[in-house]
Structure 1
Amino acid sequence: MRRMAGPILGLFLILAARELCAAPPASPDASPFPLPLEHYADSNRTSILEILRLRIAVDPFNLVASVIFLLAIVHTFLATKFMHLSHEWRDEHRAEIEAAGLTAEAKRQTDARADVSFKAEIMHFLGEVEVIFGIWVIPLLAAITFFKGWPAAEGYISHGVIFTEPMFVVVIMCIAATRPVLRFAEQCLSVVARLGDRTPAAWWLSILTVGPVLGSFITEPAAMIICALLLARQFYDLKPSLKFRYATLGLLFVNISVGGT
């Protein structure tokens, strides 16, 4: 029965999605979503609070979207707290399964795995910075569906948002992180680092000066990935001070932005 649960659930989700997508199109008289900026007529306002108050008065859904965006920002700042809590719960769970004999080594199966803590894994997932705004897209889509209806939500995702650039950035970043590209970039930068006998200082200077120039040729995201990975290998493995690490990372972002232009 458990084996059939997965396919049945998948079939149910497919049928549900099909029914949702088959919803009747929005009426031509319905207001567009989101409203065009010129519809708010707030070009003469200078205060952000005034602009926000006016836009909320025109369309109250702007308040809902602003609250969701604010919660996503707060979640970003709390990511380290989630990760710290995840590590605490994981250590506690590890001690519990060791006492109960539920570790992978204590089990008789050849391919056995240690029991995991579900709440620790959830906290770890919530602490991943790169997925935070993706997580909050779910309540945003639910709010759009609740307040504006599914046709508005489906139309916004299908036609209102252009995913070409983010998809391009993801593909470029994945390619830039591959071993051949990284090795080639490392060999090119090693020529510059050789002028300083390839010391950590020479690598640090070459990565932060020559590396960002690559943004003009292979896009800024790709240059950032390459420089970050090379810094991790040639500099961060030496465990410099925490302040120096953050300063280096900030300088990398600034140089990438300048070098890409």
Structure 2
Amino acid sequence: MDIVIRNNVRISGRPEGKPMVFAHGFGCDQNMWRLVAPAFEDEYKIVLFDYVGAGKSEMAAYSAERYASLDGYVQDVLDICRELDLTDLVFVGHSVSAMVGALAAIREPDRFDKLVLVGPSPRYIDDGDYVGGFAAADIEELMDSLDSNYLGWSSAMAPVIMGNPDRPELGNELANSFCRTDPEIARRFARVTFLSDSRADLPKVPVRSLILQCANDVIAPVAVGEYVHRAIPDSELVLLRATGHCPNLSAPEETITAIKAFL
């Protein structure tokens, strides 16, 4: 199958520019980057895509077996890089895609120059001294809620994840994005996301990395951002004034400024 069609790949910006790949988080699609990506079009070749099972990707290409772990999503990224012959690229990953990008860079380091990790978390569940932000029982409850009433879960959780109660339109946009996702695929992706543990991989990240950490992020608290910064050898941590888990929507200008300063 044509990878460009399969993953709804969209290319803009400078054709000969350094590639900059933007990867969306759980329950979202490439539209989540519409306020950020255009700011880099003058200088970079911008690559946007949807993971198989998200947005306008080819749903027939979805396989429960392939996407039973983060590895399937890593494979999507590397497939796109090979298809477009991308090297020396900047990868910008939001939420779960931060870890997808880190794993892809470990697997094929020659393709990657820098990583921008927006709200990353290598493990969401607390473990001994490690603070992930959730107890195991919290995640079990989350999964049960997803299984029993996905649309209800989406409406209730989206504003909490977005974290800007004074701007309800942002929470509504995220809820609508969740609701457009096939519930069965969303449940599987949620399980893969919230039960994954990539802590052991962080020290192997071979490229310079920027960690963008928001205030009051219920999904990836500050302690997680600090952990990722300590674990990735060549990394920089920037604490944004933005609140919540989606600064690409709630604070695009601040996000753009931080990324540009890093690059």
Q: Which has the higher helix share?
A: 1
TM-score (ref. length: structure 2): 0.22
Structure (1 or 2) with the larger CA radius of gyration: 1
Q: Which has the higher strand share?
A: 2
* Larger RCO, structures 1/2 (Cα 8 Å, 6+ apart): 2
